[in-house]
Amino acid sequence: MKRLTSIIVALLFIMGVASIGITAETAGKAEDKCVKCHKKEKAMDKVIEKKKIKTTAELLKAVKEGPKAKLHAKLTDDDIKVAAKELKLAE
8 A C-beta contact, residue 84 and residue 78: no
Domain assignment present for 91: no
Q: Which residues, listed in sequence order, are joined to residue 90 by a DSSP beta bridge?
A: 55
C-alpha 48: how far from its chain's center? 15
- Look at residue 71 and tell me if it is in a domain: yes
According to the model, what pLDDT value does residue 18 have?
Answer: 58
Q: Specify the pLDDT at position 30.
A: 57
Our CA angle for 77, 53, 20, nearest 5°, is: 50
pLDDT single digits (tens) 31-77: 677 888 888 888 888 888 888 989 999 999 998 998 988 988 888 88
Task: Name the DSSP letter for residue 67.
Answer: T
**Is 12 within a domain?**
yes
Could you tell me the residue range of the domain that residue 9 belongs to? 2-86
* Number of independent structural domains in the chain: 1
Q: Give 4's Cβ-side CA count (13 Å radius).
A: 1
